[in-house]
Structure 1
Amino acid sequence: MQQILDRLRITRVVMAGLLALAIALPAAAQGPPALPSWFGGTADDLGWAIERTTDGNYIIAGRTRSEGAGGSDAQLLKVDELGNVLWSHTHGGAEDDEFKDVQLTADGGYIAAGSRTMSGVYYAYLVKTDVDGNVAWERTYGAYCYANAVQQTPDGGYVFTGKSTEQDPWGDVNLRKVDSAGLEQWSRYFNLAAYADDSGHSVALTPDGGYIVAGFGGLWSAGQTRMWVIKTDAAGNQMWNTQLGTTPGTYNMAQDVLVASDGNYVVAGHLHNGPEQDPVLIKLDPDGATLWIKNYGG
């Protein structure tokens, strides 16, 4: 449980005008609490995801307006345990680009996912780097698409989820598989209903070789968004889906999903609880049935 809560705290939200992150030191228990480390310049910089690296440091993914090629640039930043910058690389072009996720890869490098804008059109964006952040390859996918989360697959390729308007102008949850060089192998689209604005926020590999995606479905005609969890097979075909937070006029969202050690799934997000939105953990069995819901709000 604590591991899940820790991951929820350190992923997806690291926003404070500047790219900011408080690095927790292992030695903190032996002395005063560590001070926050601030990264960026005078413009609007932001971090979205962080992972611990194999050498005990940290890799951060986000975007910066303080440096780069113009607009906002996707950024990978490596820092040590004290928050000292080891290296920083920006990616993209003259328009707005950003990373939403970063993961370590089997070769010691990194895979980052987000979006890149060219000539006013935004695309899902993957960048593969070596251990020092040097680009091995970068690719864009779709049109009016973006990626929110990525995972390396056992075959050395990658699977990512996000949002796509390729099939529906309102937007579908998109699950896309690419090979080790970033070449697309397949793409799947999931739509909650007509006029639904849908997006995938997290993807995990499942023990049966498939995938589980967590995000939301936006039924604007009913004034609501629903937490939406989709289970697929290895080819991305839907096996089942579960919706939570179906009361009209409420806004609910799944932000992360993990496979638990017992083979069940744990979903983190927020649900409306009366007039407020509260953080929740939800445990689902392998068929998508709810085992329990834990509410952490007031």
Structure 2
Amino acid sequence: MKTNLLFRIFISVLTLYCLCGLIMSACDDDDDDEPVATATPTATPTMIPDAIEKTFGGLASDFAHSVQQTSDGGYILAGSTNSFGAGGSDVYLIKTDNALTEEWSMTFGGLLDDGANSVQQTSDGGYIIGGYSDSFGPGLRDIFMIKTDSTGTEEWRKIFGDSESNDCGNSVQQTSDGGYIITGYTAAPDNNYDFFLLKTDGAGNPVWLVNLGGTGNDVGNSVLQTSDGGYICAGSRGSNGNDVFLLKTDSAGIVEWSNTFGGAYEDFAHSVFQTSNGGYIVAGQIKSDVDGMDNVYLIKTDDRGNEEWSKTFGGSDRDTGNSVQQTSDGGYVVAGSTRSSGAGEDDVILIKTDNTGIEEWSKNFGGTEGDSGHAVLQTSDGSFIIAGVTESYGAGSHDIYVIKYGN
């Protein structure tokens, strides 16, 4: 009897052991299946550690040309969309939170091509947008200014141009008096571009206009109000090929000085920023005398526009600097595109220098196709936000590409 009891206990233990083994095997099988289920490739870029990368857009072509951090810690993006809107391309305005999650988006435009090159948050919490319109106005293409409230709802729009010209606004900023300053180009009667600088009041009505032109193309690409209440504008002048062009006016638009920089070939400025010592940092591109390829061009001037130093960055192929800002440590950050390094036809490039223009580090972002960074700024947490375009990721042929790197 005692033997039968022991035998039954033995059988029970053996049965329990087998059941546990089956349960554990089933659990292990579930674990093995899980990576297979989540290994499907995704279009979301995750190439660089410490970076958040997002795309926005639809099935057609969408671009971002400007980004600013907003007072709530999020971001506002402006560019153009062929995926949404009324027709052709439309102005595309996207508001995100700090993690680059879209909160809302708006389009503005008509049946033809319209787009934005610049955006800034205004003192009332709304936004001012500068760009171009083929849909409205008297000309083939006209300067387009749009003011919205904090939700992206249009408050007013203004069109500037004449019936015989192609005109475009490339950069806009709110001024200390509540008005706006915008720069770009207007087509001259000889079909060359002339530089313009237009000051408006708070309702977008013109106050004064500066026009400069020569025998070539003259373009304003970047403008900001300076610490003395005047304005600094960077672009290119084409009287002798193309040279980097830097112009300073007083608060009434009276030209105080202008300077050109560059070599024997085609050179352009895309961005200007006033530095903490009252001078200016300019980013663009310079064509090499050696191999004929563009390199990133960084120029530091004093407060009168006299060059203190200049630096070039790049390799054996085309590299451009599209945006520059001084960083909290006194150095500089430049965003643009590179064909000399990276994974694709073009990659977004981010270059950090010290206060003398010596490179401290650089990072590439992108995939196997063409990607480019059009705007950069340092954020309140010390990281960097870049806006541009990608052919490597997203839903369409070109998509808005936004990268937050660091911290």
TM-score normalized with structure 1 length:
0.89
1:133-157 residue CA offsets vs partner (Å, 9 max, x unmatched) = 1111122123220100001112211
1:271 and 1:263 map into 2 onto residues whose CA distance is 25
The one of 236, 247, 254 equivalent to 1:176 is: 247
How much has 1:201 moved relative to structure 2? Answer: 0.3
Aligned partner of 2:80 in structure 1 is 14
* Distance 1:177-1:84 versus aligned 2 partners, 3 A rule: same
What residue is the counterpart of 2:329 in the other structure? 262
Q: Is 1:85 the equivalent of 2:161?
A: no
Give the letter for the 2:211 counterpart.
Answer: T
Which residue in the other structure is 1:74 paired with? 143
Q: Is the 8 A contact 2:68 2:121 kept in 1?
A: no
Corresponding residue number in structure 2 for 1:128 = 199
Contact 2:181 2:197 in 1 (8 A): yes
CA-atom RMSD in angstroms: 2.6
Are 1:239 and 2:295 matched, yes or no?
no
Q: Name the larger-Rg structure.
A: 2
* Contact 1:18/1:39 (<8 A) preserved: no
Contact residue 77 and residue 94 of structure 2 kept, 8 A? no
Number of aligned residues: 288
1:240 Cα deviation from its structure 2 partner: 0.7
Q: Which moved more, 1:80-89 or 1:65-74?
A: 80-89
Task: State the alpha-carbon separation in 2 of the partners of residues 297 and 163 from structure 1.
Answer: 29
What is aligned with 1:157? 230
Residue among 356, 359, 368 paired with 1:290: 359
Cα distance between partner residues in 1 of 2:93 and 2:246: 32
Whether the 8 Å CA contact 2:79–2:117 is kept in 1: the answer is yes
Offset of 1:12 from its aligned partner? 7.6
Distance in structure 1 (CA, Å) of the matches to 2:186 and 2:336: 26
Q: Is the 8 A contact 1:23 1:81 kept in 2?
A: no
Q: Give 1:77's aligned amino acid.
A: I
For residues 91-126 of structure 1, what are the alpha-carbon distances to aligned partners after superposition, in whole Å with 9 as ceiling and x for unaligned?
Answer: 121210010000111111110010012312321111
User: Structure 2 length normalisation: TM-score?
Assistant: 0.66
1:95-106 map, 5 Å: 95-106=165-176
**Unaligned runs of at least 5 residues, structure 2:** 1-49, 52-65, 70-74, 83-87, 368-407
Matches within 5 A, 1:16-31: 16=82, 17-24=88-95
Do structure 1's residue 51 and structure 2's residue 51 form an aligned pair?
no
Q: Greater relative contact order (Cα 8 A, min sep 6): structure 1 or 2? A: 2
Identity of aligned residues (%): 38
1:161-200 deviation per Cα after TM superposition (whole angstroms, max 9, x unaligned): 001023x2x2000011111111211111111x32x11110
* Alpha-carbon offset, residue 7 of structure 1: 4.2
Deviation at 1:27, TM superposition (A): 12
Alpha-carbon offset, residue 285 of structure 1: 0.9
CA contact under 8 A between 1:204 and 1:211: conserved in structure 2? yes
In structure 1, stretches of 5+ residues that fail to align are: none
Task: Measure how far apart 1:204 and its partner are.
Answer: 0.4
C-alpha distance in 2 between matches for 1:281 and 1:7: 17
Structure with the largest fraction of strand: 1
Partner amino acid, structure 2, of 1:100: N
Q: Is the partner of 1:269 in helix, strand or coil?
A: strand
